[in-house]
A and B are shown apart, each in its own frame.
Chain A
């Protein structure tokens, strides 16, 4: 009997209960579908596309549930156009930053300067993109910290995407002694890079004497690697270069200064004249 009680207009408590049940069913259906999709498509679709698909399905089901509940609640959708306009203005003023983040989120999804799983730097934060939601983007920093950045900030700040291109270059500066043969050192480094599978054949690596420093002959070593693999290669190669050079008798130079003492010079001159 209580369920037939009128709440407002023609809407009864039963109608309200029906709407709640519709939403509950929609939530369960959306959740179940997204879990099913993630399980079945995990190895077939990239992570970022999977997120977009599951979000589109989830939001789509909720939107259908919302539209389906309008007649039960006695809401005329055409009336919403007028009401929505007024409400929109009010909400717009009240929640400028949220709307700003939302619009930025939509533009981010359209422009796609970053994708889920990319290694990026956004403003002062560096890490891996974990999620791009409508309001915010979350990163996992290299130290494993969770950082949530509002989309408005992501959209207006500078973004460096380390893996947007398929390959990237990095460099070392290797300083050898003046007494060592720089040509031999270059040849050793070249062979080492040639032997490494991940160091790309083309673009060709560049190895050359860059400058004659105060304490060392500085050899610049530049090589290209697949964007996803470059850091592993960078960690590996420098020590290999050092060991390969040392095996061939070429040593890494360290800062040194030759000091001449004035009295030692005069003593030497005296000795020379006596002899």
Chain B
């Protein structure tokens, strides 16, 4: 899978040497690292060590160990959060965030809330066409669900989140923060229990402390809403993640998702 290397955010500090860290400085997981690399965090260990003419990639995540030989001339690796839809299998491109408590919304109201979402971490190596992913790992429990009925519905990655009025404190290796603007454009009070997002269109940003997304949920009826992402970070100076869900298919699904089988 090829991805465009030139996706750093306008606010990012730059993609040159000043953004790179040597293993000794490797206190932060996300970003570009020089090889050899060795990073260890809670339940997560990634290393790329020279083994003769080749490199040996090792990672351990939640007790699950993977080893790969890398035949490369590259001397850097990029680690950044990716759309949380690759593990345990790339089954769907939809993420369902179920609210811990139902949300009642008055007609005409526009409010912002903060949700959490699961983190998947992508390991990228440089290639001729940009950057290519060699592994995806996650510390989060995985679950899938069905939105709608089996005939017309869609399989979604499932995540349960609390509804927060301000940015919640989360571990950026495990959870990200989504700022969601909810707009009730209908004429009635609406009870929303979940929000579904399409990974084609997901815009992730990260810095040393946080992984974030910004989205909008526009409720247009008692049982219908549309969701989409905003291409903007939650804070200044955040770096944009490399997107995996871009133009993998010739006919790219619209980045919006229409929730027409209930809220």
Contact = CB atoms under 8 A, between A and B. Distances in A.
Contact of B248 (A44, A166, A195, A229): A44
Given A201-B144, A201-B145, A226 B155 contact: yes
A198 B142 CA distance: 8
Contacts of B91: 226, 228-229
Interface in B127-154: 141-146, 150-151, 153-154
User: For the complex, would chain A's binding face be called helix, strand, loop or mixed by DSSP majority?
Assistant: loop
B150 A167 contact: yes
A251 B248 CA distance: 49
Interface string B39-76: 00000000000000000000000000000000000000
A200 B145 contact: yes
Interface in A55-83: none
Interface string B224-263: 0000000000000000000000001111000000000000
A255 interface: no
A87 interface: no
B153 A167 contact: yes
A200 B250 contact: no
Contacts of B158: 201
Given A41-B250, A198-B88, A229-B91, A166 B144 contact: no
A203 B153 CA distance: 11
Contact of A226 (B142, B144, B151, B250): B144
A202 B146 contact: yes
A133 interface: no
B143 A197 contact: yes
A195 B249 CA distance: 32
Given A45-B249, A45-B250, A202 B145 contact: yes
Contacts of B251: 45
A234 interface: no
B250 A166 contact: no
A43 B251 CA distance: 11
Nearest to B1: A43
Contacts of A224: 146, 150
Contacts of A195: 141
Contact of B144 (A41, A44, A198): A198
A222 interface: no
Contacts of B141: 195, 197
Contacts of B249: 44-45
A121 interface: no
28 contacts: A43-B248, A44-B248, A44-B250, A45-B249, A45-B250, A45-B251, A165-B150, A166-B146, A166-B150, A166-B155, A167-B146, A167-B150, A167-B153, A168-B150, A195-B141, A197-B144, A200-B144, A200-B146, A200-B155, A201-B144, A201-B158, A202-B145, A202-B146, A203-B146, A224-B150, A226-B144, A228-B91, A229-B91
Given A45-B250, A167-B150, 13 more contacts: A43-B248, A44-B249, A45-B251, A165-B151, A166-B153, A167-B153, A167-B155, A197-B141, A197-B142, A198-B88, A202-B145, A226-B92, A229-B91
